[in-house]
Amino acid sequence: MAKAGTAAFAPQGSKEGTNNNTDVASDVKPLMGNEAIARGVWEAGVRVASAYPGTPSTEILENVARFPEQDIKAEWATNEKVALDVAIGASFAGVRAFVAMKHVGLNVASDSLMSMTYIGVNGGLVLVVCDDPGIHSSQNEQDTRLLARLAMVPVLEPSDAQEALDFVKQGYDISEQFDTPVIVRSTTRLSHTRSLVRVGERVVPISKGFVDNITKNVMVPSHARIRHPRLIERERDLAEFFNSSDLNRWERGGTEYGIITCGISYSYVKEVASDASVLKLGASYPLAEALIREFCESVDRVLVIEELEPVIEETVRKLGFEVEGKSLFPRVGEFSPSVVREGLVSAGLLPVAKSTPGLSPEPLARPPVLCSGCPHTSSYMALRAINARVAGDIGCYTLAAIEPLKAIDTCVAMGSSIGNAVGMYKAGTENRPIVATIGDSTFIHAGIPPLIDAVYSRADITVLLLDNHTTAMTGGQDHAGTGVNLRGKQTERVDFEQLIHSLGVKWVRKVDSYNLGNLYKCLQDAVRHKGVSVIISDRPCVLDPVKIKGTSFTVRAESCVGCQSCMNLGCPALSWSGELYDGHNKVEINQLECMGCSLCAQVCPSDAIYLPTEE
Amino acid sequence: MTTAVKPVKAPNTPPLTIPRPHNVLIVGVGGQGVIMISKVLATLCQEQGFEVKQSEVHGMAKRGGAVFSHVRFGEIVHSPTIPEGEADVLLALEWAEGMRWMPYLRQQSGTFIADTQRIVPPFACRNRTRGARTGYVGETIQTVMEQVENSFALDAMGIAKQLGVVKAANTVLLGALSTALDFPTEAWKSVISKFVPPQTTKVNLLAFDAGREWALGFDRESELRNIKDTRSLHQESTVEAGADYSRVEITEEWCKGCDICVKFCPERCLIMNEKLIVEMAEPELCTGCRMCEWLCPDFAITVHTPNHVPL
């Protein structure tokens, strides 16, 4: 659940479901894109919703869960494929179903998507997929529209929170009318922008129940061969439908040039070229070809302004029009009014803005860091000490790759660490101990099959399971290993030790992440063990589900020799005091930041760090 | 304090019917409350009948990184983000973050309000050599005040402390911000009351008044004359940074391979060789901290630093 941080104001009762989402009294509300999507899901009469957390999509399901349980069953899934399979199951059973994920989550879910697109839907099914242009918090910036084209699934692209709500609802109508799953594509900027939204009532369609139809519901070769041509027909029908749908909007302006745009880019276009002719495409796949043709013929010059891949641009070019897009507007990164303006300036359509340089100081590097007291820190300090080759994974702990910890050598995708470690072992080139590090939520998401593989193939690797009892990176969501569900109620809990033993791992030990010496000894034993060894480094996250704050440690200035051993932790509570010892900076501890984990005291060779209560 | 000082406003601060969106950029460090401040402002703008868009970025920012939130309001607002150079107000909860976003401030007419609080990230303390300085920004309150016409640097935390509630520092800043935007004071207070926990309403409203009074009483000229705090965190040092080159001398015959120096070296530049004798593996990483020399039970290590002054 999102935290108010240390702000002076905390929203009243936002956790108790008194969020204004559920209040139908006033019909215009300021909603974040993700809140608007959740509202749309509820209004569309959805009965089952599932997701795995991932920035920037996380808040969607959290907000869905603020609506009453009797309206909508919402639960975190173990991963995006499971989430989609749950939604597909609900659709089979005849109710409207919903699933949310970030762009890379769709990769995980794509196996199911590629088949279910052949099957179609019974109850309507909408996937909201949030792309991350600019890579604010992801491992890549892939464009979901390309995967949607591969799956031949229609894509709707809202430009603001109002459209996010409306398009989700329309998505369900399209889904049921055309017998197709529908993707609503958001981006970080849209998901995290709050604007005014007119909300409506919830309307629940009457459930059809399960509809027996073996050639449609069972994808075997003979059935799939029947369904594939239907898919191509469906694509053509959708394109025809979008030609006259109000999802696409033509805003008439001058004829000198016209801009085709979609999603959040539309708002930048309106910001910098408000008088231009604009074709705003709410449906970016399949494209409304007749409408586009008519638009292109009405202007002298056509520009396409779309974030990431030239999906629309290439289609317009195939229609036989000369079009400018990625030659003016970048294919990488997030757009902004400035990016759009620069493109239009270099196209000669806007005058060069006169700029008078003002005060522009050299910015301070402030990369994100592991929190004060983060239990991951000690795990990576210990890994440095045994000089391991470390395969990393996705989570807060990926931050251990950068200074000062510098203790992760690779990071690929969710759950990759263990498989990567197996491969490094099999390559036979590494003389350092090979260790895979993976968080609890990531382990459940995609770490179990590769661990089985490691045991099965007798890889001599160590797996360090960083169990902080939450999905920390995305803001502290529960998962199957926490025993608490999305609505905060107790449920079954996965026992990691039992699970790992049952997979055939002979060497499993659990250690307290805050006991650095023990962790180090344990790691030494683990890497000496021939075969797969697993250490569970166990401590709750200091932020979620509750912020942990103990007594702060203090530096005895006269004992500090400025050796910087503690600064190797990268703890945000530690900084230089301004005092020097033989030219070296002494350290001090920020009393508000320090939560008392004791790691700095454990590594201090001159015993300068102490707990004031012990004096 | 004199009542003659006009409320601080950008000269082009529009009346309540405005032709173009008004832009407020709120910046700080993860955990400071940037998002909450933006929510208060966005709610206020909405209640005053404007269209409003507020845009923020979550994710990695939560981990002590830079956080920013764009608030735009007006009759019609298109882009959720403020174009560079078009922020009418830049409100910084931390000094270096204010400096980072300075290019977004509208020149001449833009108002800059900053908390003088400094949060030095560990990343700014990573030069390990003798005489190293923090990598914090060099701009002082004075340099900023001289170059930015409408600039205000206040110790919001200090003001909040005087009221006895450190946590109300953000409300102090809202008080200062209120003088740069043309909304009725009562409207501000009513929105703040909705956001703060009920038992803290009174002190938060006092904090708001204190911040507002501070800004209204702010006299730029006398402030510039009397400025005492040059507030650069760059330390003066007697040792020239990087002038040192340390050399570690190892007396191999005395080393019994106990491994203590290798394990304790903060820079990990020592290794055990195949003869189980310590060896300097990465001399360029050595900062001359002498930890190995001091910890060696057999006096097998001496660290030579050319500029070393024995204590």
At B287 the three-state DSSP class reads coil
Cα(A80)–Cα(A433) distance, integer angstroms: 32
Alpha-carbon distance of A427 to A429, in angstroms, equals: 6
Does A336 score more than 90 pLDDT? yes
Distance from CA of A162 to the nearest CA of B (A): 12
Of A389-403, A451-465, A485-499, B140-154, minimum mean pLDDT range: B140-154
Residues of B in contact with A473 (CB under 8 A): 59
Residue A16 neighbours by CB under 8 Å, 6+ apart: none
ipTM higher than 0.90? no
Tell me the pLDDT tens digit for each residue of B250-295: 999 999 999 899 988 988 899 999 999 999 999 888 888 888 999 9
Residue A166: is its pLDDT beyond 70? yes
Write the DSSP assignment of A66-105 as a string of letters: TS-TTT-EEEE-SSHHHHHHHHHHHHHTTS-EEEEEEHHH
Using the 8-state DSSP alphabet, how is residue B106 labeled? Answer: P
Q: And the tokens for A579?
A: 């005092």
Q: What is the pLDDT of residue B15?
A: 41
* Each residue's pLDDT tens digit, A293-319: 999 999 999 999 999 999 999 999 999
The mean per-residue pLDDT over the stretch A57-71 comes to: 97
- Contact (CB<8Å) B132/A585: yes
What pLDDT is stored for residue A4 in this prediction? 34
Q: How confident is the model at residue B139 (pLDDT cuts 50, 70, 90)?
A: confident
| Residue percentage of chain B with pLDDT more than 90 | 52
pLDDT of residue A76: 97
- In B235-264, the residues whose Cβ lies within 8 Å of chain A are 235, 237-239, 244, 263-264
CB-CB neighbors (< 8 A) of B141 in chain A: none
Element (H, E) at A441: helix A440-442
The topology under which CATH files domain A554-614 is: Alpha-Beta Plaits (3.30.70)
Query: Is A605 close to B291, i.e. CB distance below 8 A?
Result: yes
Model pLDDT, residue A582: 84
Find the mean pLDDT for residues A438-444.
98
Catalogue the E-assigned strands of A85-215: 97-102, 125-131, 155-156, 182-187, 193-198
Per-residue confidence (pLDDT) for residue B103, from 0 to 100: 93
pLDDT, tens digit (0-9, with 9 covering 90-100), for A115-124: 999 999 999 9
Selected residue with higher pLDDT from B235 and A36: A36
Alpha-carbon gap, residue A156 to A185, rounded angstroms: 6
Q: Which range among A13-17, A128-132, A257-261 shows the weakest confidence by mean pLDDT?
A: A13-17
Is pLDDT of B241 > 90? no
**Partners of B52 in beta bridges:** B73
The residue-averaged pLDDT of B54-80 equals 83
The CATH classification number of A376-538 equals: 3.40.50.970
Q: What is the mean pLDDT of residues B1-7?
A: 35
In terms of CATH architecture, what is A15-243?
3-Layer(aba) Sandwich (3.40)
pLDDT band at A1, cuts 50/70/90? very low
Average pLDDT estimate for A526-554: 96
- Whether A394 has a pLDDT exceeding 90, the answer reads yes
Q: Is A376 on the interface with B (CB under 8 A)?
A: no
Give CA separation, A569 vs A339, A405, A609, B287, in Å. Answer: 39, 6, 14, 17
CB contact under 8 A, A195 and B60: no
In 3-state terms chain A splits into helix, strand, coil percentages (rounded to 5) of 35, 20, 45
Is pLDDT of A5 > 60?
Answer: no
- Residue A10 above 90 pLDDT? no
CATH number of B22-226: 3.40.920.10
pLDDT at A255 over 90: yes
**pLDDT confidence tier of residue A423, bands split at 50, 70 and 90:** very high
Chain A CB contacts of B192 below 8 Å: 9
Selected residues 445-484 of chain A with any CB under 8 Å from a CB in chain B: 473-475
- Residue B60's pLDDT is 55
What is residue B9's predicted lDDT score, i.e. its pLDDT?
40
Q: Where are the domains of chain A?
A: 15-243, 249-346, 376-538, 554-614
Question: Is A245 part of the contact surface with chain B (CB cutoff 8 Å)?
Answer: no
Q: How confident is the model at residue A615 (pLDDT cuts 50, 70, 90)?
A: low
The percent of residues in chain A predicted with pLDDT above 70, rounded, is: 95
Residue-level pLDDT at A279: 98
Burial of B292 (0-12, 13-18, 19+ CB in 10 A): buried
Q: What is the mean pLDDT of chain B?
A: 84
In this prediction, residue B4 carries a pLDDT of 36
Q: Please tell me the distance in Å from A578's CA to the nearest CA on chain B.
A: 7
Assign domain A249-346 one CATH number from 3.40.50.300, 3.40.50.920, 3.40.50.12780, 3.90.1150.10.
3.40.50.920
Q: What is the mean pLDDT of residues A341-345?
A: 96
Report the pLDDT value the prediction gives residue A614, as an integer from 0 to 100.
67
CB contact under 8 A, A475 and B58: yes
| Average pLDDT rounded to a whole number, residues A188-217 | 95
Same fold yes or no, A15-243 and A376-538 = yes
Q: Which residues pair with B23 in a beta bridge?
A: B72
Asked if B136 contacts A385 with a C-beta cutoff of 8 angstroms, the reply is: no
Are B79 and A268 an interchain contact pair (Cβ–Cβ within 8 Å)? yes
The rounded distance, in Å, linking the Cα atoms of A468 and A472 is 8
Tokens for A364, please give them.
């301070």
The answer, yes or no, to whether residue A22 has pLDDT greater than 60, is: no
Which residues are CB-neighbours of A84 under 8 A, at least 6 positions away? A50, A99, A101, A109, A112, A113, A116, A127
What's the pLDDT at A359? 79
The structural domains of chain B, with segments of one domain joined by +, span 22-226, 247-304
Please check the confidence at residue B236 and state whether its pLDDT lies above 80. no
Q: How many CA atoms lie within 13 A of A170 on its CB side?
A: 20
pLDDT computed for residue B10 by the predictor: 42
DSSP 8-state secondary structure symbol assigned to residue A389: E
Domain B247-304 belongs in CATH node 3.40.1710.10: no
